[in-house]
Amino acid sequence: MAFNAKILIFFNFFSVIHTFAIGFFGIIAYNISRQIKLFSFLIPPDVIIPVQTQGIVHRMGGGVS
């Protein structure tokens, strides 16, 4: 029983780290995208649109353009 509990604690710990890492990168990506939108009036649309589409592609796990 103690062995099972140790495994459960380990997986709980791992999933917490995993969730934290995803959340942390998510917050960074969100802040960057907010700043891009903030300064989008300074940058022409034909520059800003490819940046946003590339970000979406990266979030989906890559893919061919």
pLDDT tens track for 7-63: 777 777 777 777 787 778 877 877 777 776 666 566 555 555 555 555 555 554 544
Quote the Cα angle for 42-44-46, to 5°: 150
Pair 57, 63: CB distance under 8 Å: yes
What is the model's pLDDT at position 35? 73
Looking at residue 40, what is its pLDDT? 58
> From CA 42, how far away is CA 44, in angstroms rounded?
7
Q: Note the pLDDT of residue 65.
A: 39
Specify the DSSP class assigned to residue 40.
T
Question: d(Cα 39, Cα 32) in Å, to the nearest integer?
Answer: 11
The reply to whether the predicted model has a pTM over 0.85 is no
Q: For the chain, how big is the Rg over CA atoms in Å?
A: 19
